[in-house]
């Protein structure tokens, strides 16, 4: 085996590898920064609904819950408060 028979990388390949590593690093940094911005924006958001929460003992809502008509109860909560589907479902689930 001849010592002078060592393999070397073509400079173009080396530059290509470095470019890929730089792009991956930049993507990771940007992704982390976007994640930080989203989480800080979420903390500042207020509830999307404007109306008061319906009383779970309100006769109409209580009747729907007692009858197991959860979808109708969710619709009632959404109509009265302007809540999104997820929030209204979570609210109704607390009392069903």
Give the helix ranges, DSSP H, for 1-96: 11-44, 59-66, 70-81, 85-95
Whole-number pLDDT of residue 92:
93
pLDDT digits (tens, 9 = 90+) for 4-47: 656 777 889 889 999 999 999 888 888 887 766 655 545 555 66
Give the helix ranges, DSSP H, for 45-66: 59-66
**pTM for this entry:** 0.50
- 2 pLDDT above the threshold of 60: no
Q: Which two tokens stand for residue 12?
A: 């173009």
Q: Are 61 and 55 in contact (CB under 8 A)?
A: yes
Gyration radius of the chain over CA positions: 29
Q: Are 82 and 53 in contact (CB under 8 A)?
A: no
């Amino acid at each position: 085996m001849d010592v002078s028979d060592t393999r070397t990388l073509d400079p173009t390949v080396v530059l290509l590898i470095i470019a890929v590593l730089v792009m991956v690093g930049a993507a990771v940094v940007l992704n982390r920064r976007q994640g930080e911005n989203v989480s800080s924006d979420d903390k500042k958001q207020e509830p999307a609904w404007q109306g008061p929460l319906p009383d779970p003992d309100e006769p109409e809502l209580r009747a729907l819950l007692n009858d197991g008509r959860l979808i109708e109860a969710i619709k009632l909560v959404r109509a009265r408060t302007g809540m999104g589907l997820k929030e209204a479902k979570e609210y109704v689930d607390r009392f069903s």
